């Protein structure tokens, strides 16, 4: 290698945190007093699923009417009784202390005049226990944590940095398989998008907090950074990934082809009296459920999906034109403004809606301390599979899971970090290769193909035939993309595409392996008993 090619740098941190949502930032804040922390964000600090969480965060706080047993029971029912009871208990009982911590970090939850929390109640909860900040709780939490992170001298925030691979023995020429015991993580190779170089980040402890993967679907409510990077990296490093078949779809996202992500049309609009109609204006929910448009989320999503597939339509309509126009505008000012901006007056026009991928219940398998199957590597937040959600997520349990497990992982990491040292024998990233502008079109086209495959064949309703077709199509894309990756310099787009294909494959494979309809996984070949 000539001297000209030696551009890569080696950085050393006690803690390497990949991802900047609630999970990643709260972990960083909890360990920073004990060592240097690098916080890797592939975009800016705001671009995380946390920021987009409208609803709130679930915790038992009003002990006069609520208790832990009720919250545990609600979670188990929502998860179709395949949640891990130990994980459920851990999150529910650990929640109040973490709410206190968020408040100390500056998060303002809405309160009543008497100073008590203004608690909401959401689908599946038996009591009022949702803490919120207006209808943008996630943004309030995210901005408060950003301030705390920026103010901490031991945390280095690296925006526009993209983790390409985690480093294990594999990179030292040792053969690692899924059966290898004692796989260790020594850090990650990280692409600096400003310089275009892939640098080596060595760490004593690495934390995956990269969020979900719903951007593998064409219609998603997630920010487009949610390409499942952490899950794909851990899978390629032979870590255990579980329950990927359980993707939660929101039934009514605004259908406007130019928009990605999709704008969410809240469930409250159906509660208000909105009626679902097919493109020819006919009601259809009476065919599926006596509760009509107010049936639970998964039933409504499947009904809409069925109508779209049997008719070959891309959307259905939500109709509130029969309601008082002024009342509609007062109740839903943001939705009114958004629809008006694309030429739809919701007081006179039907709203085009379609289901959109919303939340992942599976991910990197972790224990009660947030440890993955790979040593020195933790996974927290939406990219992890703690066992809390089982087959379906209870509303507002995701933010509380992220911070409870960030706390558990931080405590465990602090107890062991001094035993670890840096592995100095890691080779630098092989940075040879070229990528021309002509080849960029291959990447964008393949991304669109992944979106189409997942949308058409691995969506809300599945079948063995559809899943097999998805598998075969993804396999071709995988071979093409790996060949392109090997001969090209690493770019964020190319790495994201690799990750999307990996994650698409995992969702498909784990859906094929589940020979039943359970939770969010519904297949026409194994209808619910």
Closest among 8, 27, 7, 9 to 17, alpha carbons compared? 27
How far, in Å, CA of 161 to CA of 43, rounded?
A: 7
- What stretch of H or E contains 443? helix 437-457
CA 186 to chain centre: 25
Task: Exactly one of 218, 277, 297, 393 is catalytic; name it.
Answer: 297
How far, in Å, CA of 231 to CA of 481, rounded?
A: 18
Q: Catalytic residue at 260?
A: no
Q: Is residue 261 reached through a cis peptide bond, with omega within 30 degrees of 0 on the bond before it?
A: yes
Neighbours of 478 (CB within 10 A): 16
At a CB cut-off of 8 Å and minimum separation 6, what does 246 contact? 360, 361, 362, 389, 390, 391, 392, 519, 520, 521
Q: Do 465 and 457 meet the contact criterion of CB atoms below 8 Å apart?
A: no
Q: Do 400 and 385 meet the contact criterion of CB atoms below 8 Å apart?
A: no
Q: Which residues pair with 334 in a beta bridge?
A: none
Maximum separation of any 2 CA atoms in the chain, in Å: 74
How far, in Å, CA of 88 to CA of 85, rounded?
A: 5
How far, in Å, CA of 80 to CA of 74, rounded?
A: 10
Pairing mode, strands 363-365 and 130-131: unpaired
User: What is the three-class DSSP state of 146?
Assistant: helix
Q: Angle between the 397-416 and 85-104 helix axes, to the nearest 10 degrees? A: 90
Number of residues that make up the chain: 529
Q: Residue 395 burial by CB count (10 A; 0-12/13-18/19+): exposed, middle or buried?
A: buried
Closest among 220, 281, 272 to 447, alpha carbons compared? 220
At a CB cut-off of 8 Å and minimum separation 6, what does 156 contact? 13, 36, 37, 38, 39
Pairing mode, strands 384-385 and 363-365: parallel
The full 3-state SS of 33-102, as one line of letters, equals HHCCEEEECCCCCCCCHHHHCCCCEECCCCCCCCCHHHHHHHHHHHCCCCCCHHHHHHHHHHHHHHHHHH
| Catalytic center residues | 297
């Amino acid at each position: 290698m000539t001297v000209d090619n030696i551009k890569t740098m080696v950085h050393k941190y006690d803690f390497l945190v990949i991802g900047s949502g609630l999970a990643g930032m709260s972990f960083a804040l909890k360990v920073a007093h004990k060592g240097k922390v690098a916080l890797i964000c592939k975009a800016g600090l705001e671009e995380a699923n946390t920021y987009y969480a409208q609803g709130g965060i679930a915790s038992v706080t009003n002990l006069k009417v609520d208790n832990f047993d009720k919250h545990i029971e609600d979670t188990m029912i929502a998860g179709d009784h395949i949640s891990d009871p130990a994980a459920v208990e851990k999150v529910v009982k650990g929640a109040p202390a973490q709410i206190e911590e968020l408040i100390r970090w500056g998060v303002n939850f809405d309160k009543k005049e008497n100073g008590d929390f203004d608690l909401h109640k959401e689908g599946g909860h038996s009591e009022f226990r949702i803490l919120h900040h207006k209808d943008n709780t996630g943004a309030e939490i995210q901005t408060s944590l950003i301030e705390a992170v920026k103010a901490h001298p031991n945390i280095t925030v690296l925006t526009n940095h993209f983790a390409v691979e985690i480093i294990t023995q594999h990179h030292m020429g040792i053969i690692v398989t899924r059966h290898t015991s004692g796989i260790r993580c020594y850090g990650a190779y990280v692409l600096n998008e400003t310089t275009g170089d892939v640098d080596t980040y060595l760490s004593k402890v690495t934390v995956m907090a990269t969020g979900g993967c719903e951007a593998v679907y064409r219609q998603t409510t997630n920010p487009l950074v949610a390409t499942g990077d952490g899950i794909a990296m851990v899978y390629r490093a032979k870590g255990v990934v579980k329950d990927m078949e359980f993707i939660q779809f929101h039934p009514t996202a605004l259908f406007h082809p130019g928009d990605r992500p999709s704008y969410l049309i809240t469930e409250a609009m159906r509660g208000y009296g909105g009626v679902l109609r097919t493109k020819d204006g006919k009601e259809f929910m009476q065919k599926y459920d006596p509760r009509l448009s107010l049936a639970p989320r998964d039933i409504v999503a499947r009904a809409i999906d069925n109508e779209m597939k049997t008719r070959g339509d891309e959307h259905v309509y939500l109709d509130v034109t029969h309601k008082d126009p002024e009342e509609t505008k007062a109740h839903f000012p943001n939705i009114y403004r958004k629809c008006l901006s694309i030429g739809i007056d919701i007081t006179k026009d039907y709203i085009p809606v379609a289901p959109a991928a919303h939340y992942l219940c599976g991910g990197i398998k972790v224990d009660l301390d947030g440890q993955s199957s790979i040593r020195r590597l933790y996974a927290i937040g939406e990219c992890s599979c703690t066992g809390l959600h089982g087959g379906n997520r209870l509303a507002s349990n995701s933010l509380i899971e992220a911070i409870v497990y960030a706390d558990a992982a931080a405590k465990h990491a602090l107890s062991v970090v001094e035993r670890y040292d840096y592995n100095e024998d890691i080779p630098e990233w092989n940075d040879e290769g070229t990528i021309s502008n002509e080849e960029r079109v291959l990447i964008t086209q393949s991304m669109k193909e992944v979106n189409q495959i997942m949308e058409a064949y691995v969506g809300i309703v599945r079948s063995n035939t559809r899943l097999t077709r998805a598998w075969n199509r993804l396999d071709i894309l995988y071979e093409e993309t790996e060949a392109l990756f090997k001969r090209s310099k690493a770019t964020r787009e190319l790495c994201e595409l690799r990750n999307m294909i990996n994650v698409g494959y995992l969702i498909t494979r784990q859906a094929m392996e589940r020979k039943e309809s359970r939770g969010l996984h519904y297949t026409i070949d194994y209808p619910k008993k």
